[in-house]
Chains A and B, each alone.
Chain A
Amino acid sequence: MNRIKNFYIKILVFTVVFLFIFAWENIQAVKLGYKIEDLRKELTDIENTNKYLKKEIQLTLSPENLQEEAKKLDMVYPEPQSMIVVQENKKEKSKSCFARLAGIFK
């Protein structure tokens, strides 16, 4: 008789625990749903702020703006003749390489 009673009690406890977990799980899902939605909004907000800040940087670096700033500093655009093109001398480079190798085996 006692065994049957214990069996019933066990089933009851199991059912209560099962229902409790089920309800807890659902409540957590809803809570997370709220949280995810809030985080989505926050993320969108941060992305917007980020875009606005990038916009400021790009605007500062726009050719129009750079030209204005350069003019304020009395800078002028160089003429092609005032340009000095520095070219890598491959021959000399290779020579110096051989020279270095020669140095090693001296």
Chain B
Amino acid sequence: MATKTFRTRIKICAYLAVFPVIPISGKLFYLQTIKHADLSKTASKAVNKDIFETGPRGRILDSEGNVLVESITAWDCSILKKEVAEPQKMLHQLPPLVNMPPLEFASKYKKTRNYLSVKKNLDRETFEKIEKLKIKGISLEPKYKRYYPSGNIARGLLGIAGEEKGLTGIELLYDRVLGGRVNKREILRDAKGKIIYRNETEEGQPLDVHTTIDKNIQFFAQEMIKKYTDKYMANLGIVIVQAPHTGRILAMSSYPEDPEKTIPVEWVYEPGSTFKIVTLSAALEKGIAAPEDKFFCENGKWQFNGAVAINDHEPEQTLSVSEIIERSSNIGTAKIALKLGLENYYYYTKIFGFGTKTGLGFYGESAGIQKPMKNYRPVDLVTGSYGHGIGATPVQMVNAFSAIANGGNLMEPIVVDEIRNAQGLTVFANEPLALRRVVSEETAALVKNILEKAVLFGTGKQAAIAGYSIAGKTGTSKKRDSSGNYVSKQYVVSFCGFFPAENPLYTILVIMDHPKTPQQYAAETAVPCFREIAKKIITLKGIPPDTEPATARLAHY
């Protein structure tokens, strides 16, 4: 009996012990299987952490794949005074590594309460040396900085970028493309704070911008504009080299260079006689004048409407249209414009791209200055015909010459060829785009021929290179003061030309703002600079001669 009672008691105890296990097992089953996905997600959120790391900005390259700008890691060195274990060792060993006088460093360190920023943008070598010191309390924070491996090439065009944002130039224009991609990672930290990798959720890769810039042409253009701007003590020098058939900008620079501004697209000037190609093209295209038509040039002085005096730099008698351009006669050009009429003149200035932005898209790009046609007075047509009273940007001017050079198509100027991803695959390609036909091929050929003569016999003689056909036009315009009045003996000089004239590969524009030497005209200042750049390009690209010896060619005319 007693045994039975005892067994019964044991059974009851066993049941009592097992009973709670059943609902617990049930609940565990529910949590581990049915609710598993939801719960592990919640747990992951509570334990794991998402961290976001911004990668380096994309690179900017030239047309041949040379890196012009890229991001590299630099280190900011700072000290947390309260954590420094060996202050004497640090005060003795750190200053020479960061190029700081030990006494100055010691005094700064003494005055600091806790945080002291020692030096920013340290390179790898210095970083490694400081790390080898193994002094507790020295912090080396990595960060990205922009670096220019090809040297000081096209800085004004490339612009500048802050740590994460482009501020000017291509850096700003293509900021969304170049901007460092954000990597998202899931991590876990141990008790000591050390990171344990869990998962990479999003990985961003930077994109590269491939520009149309030719590193070597850019270098020579920069060198020459610097040399000649200094030589003639000009306030500013600008040079642009463009491929006329595609509109690609091969070089673009200003001196003194300002990385905060893209001067060749922002700066507005009165183009002077280089603008005569617009009047000439319009007159030839409309059939209002032919190259051999004669105009009386009033012996170099003409009172238009009896009020406004128009002067030529040389007294000229009767000249043909071709000679008017060769000798850069303002009076002759004005008479052509009067025959052309305001409507035609205005139409052609517009279709050549003046008074409108070129489409390059740079922030701060100017459209130039051109008043509405209804505000034009007869004198505005006369002065405008030789490039006065109208404001153009250097890019507009070089693009207009390229239109003549390529046979009459106004191309959209481009500075970016392609955008590629990290694997080198093209994600965007900028195809050359002809905006419109401005003149027929026949007219373009006639203008080209007249511009070639301007180099052989006219004001652009200095641009001639033996064995090569060069076409171009000089321009000298008076500067205006702040109240808009012309200032005597202060000029903006320029020369725009292309070569080889038969099938042009390069259009070059050189501008100098107010040369202060006795040589103040374009023929003496901008033209030699053009010639130097053209010569460098010829040898650099191995362009074969395309004309007979100079004497034979002169005889041909």
Given A48-B124, A64-B219, does the pair A80, B72 have CB atoms closer than 8 Å? no
Given A79-B535, A80-B535, does the pair A37, B150 have CB atoms closer than 8 Å? no
B466: which A residues are within 8 A, CB to CB?
A: 80-81
Within the complex, the shortest CB–CB distance from B436 to chain A, in Å, comes to 35
Is B296 an interface residue, CB under 8 A from the partner? no
Whether A52 contacts B124 by the Cβ 8 Å rule is yes
Whether B536 contacts A77 by the Cβ 8 Å rule is yes
Q: 1/0 per position for A70-96, CB-CB distance to B under 8 A?
A: 000000011111010101000000000
Given A33-B196, A37-B197, A64-B219, does the pair A52, B535 have CB atoms closer than 8 Å? no
Is B465 an interface residue, CB under 8 A from the partner? yes
Compute how far the CA of A63 lies from the CA of B151 in the bound complex, rounded to whole angstroms.
8
Within the complex, the shortest CB–CB distance from B85 to chain A, in Å, comes to 24
B101: which A residues are within 8 A, CB to CB?
A: none
Is A51 an interface residue, CB under 8 A from the partner? yes
Is B4 an interface residue, CB under 8 A from the partner? no
Find A80's partner among B187, B215, B545 (CB 8 Å cutoff): B545
Whether A62 contacts B539 by the Cβ 8 Å rule is no
Compute how far the CA of A51 lies from the CA of B150 in the bound complex, rounded to whole angstroms.
14
Compute how far the CA of A52 lies from the CA of B72 in the bound complex, rounded to whole angstroms.
8
Residue of B nearest to A30 (CB): B196
Find A87's partner among B70, B468, B544 (CB 8 Å cutoff): B544
Within the complex, the shortest CB–CB distance from B151 to chain A, in Å, comes to 4
Within the complex, the shortest CB–CB distance from A41 to chain B, in Å, comes to 9
Find A58's partner among B66, B465, B535, B539 (CB 8 Å cutoff): B66
Is A10 an interface residue, CB under 8 A from the partner? no
A58: which B residues are within 8 A, CB to CB?
A: 66-67, 149-150
Residue of A nearest to B128 (CB): A49
- Count contacts on A: residues with CB < 8 A to the other chain: 28
Whether B535 contacts A55 by the Cβ 8 Å rule is no
What's the interface size class on B, roughly?
35 or more
Is B542 an interface residue, CB under 8 A from the partner? yes
How many A-B pairs have beta carbons closer than 8 Å: the answer is 75
Given A62-B149, A80-B465, does the pair A40, B539 have CB atoms closer than 8 Å? no
Chain A contact residues: over half helix, strand or loop, or mixed? Answer: helix
Given A55-B149, A62-B150, does the pair A33, B198 have CB atoms closer than 8 Å? yes
Find A59's partner among B151, B197, B215, B544 (CB 8 Å cutoff): B151
Whether B542 contacts A85 by the Cβ 8 Å rule is yes
Find A83's partner among B151, B187, B538 (CB 8 Å cutoff): B538
B147: which A residues are within 8 A, CB to CB?
A: 55
Residue of A nearest to B124 (CB): A52
Is A22 an interface residue, CB under 8 A from the partner? no
Compute how far the CA of A87 lies from the CA of B543 in the bound complex, rounded to whole angstroms.
11
Find B539's partner among A34, A65, A83 (CB 8 Å cutoff): A83
Compute how far the CA of A55 lies from the CA of B73 in the bound complex, rounded to whole angstroms.
12
Whether A54 contacts B149 by the Cβ 8 Å rule is yes
A97: which B residues are within 8 A, CB to CB?
A: none
Is B10 an interface residue, CB under 8 A from the partner? no
Is A19 an interface residue, CB under 8 A from the partner? no
16 further A-B pairs in the complex, CB-CB below 8 A; given A51-B70, A63-B215: A33-B196, A33-B198, A34-B194, A34-B197, A37-B195, A49-B124, A52-B124, A55-B149, A62-B149, A62-B151, A63-B151, A64-B151, A77-B536, A79-B535, A80-B466, A87-B544
Could you list some 20 contacts between A and B, CB below 8 A?
A32-B197, A33-B197, A36-B197, A37-B195, A48-B73, A48-B124, A51-B70, A52-B72, A52-B124, A54-B149, A59-B149, A62-B153, A63-B219, A64-B219, A80-B468, A80-B538, A80-B545, A81-B466, A83-B539, A83-B542
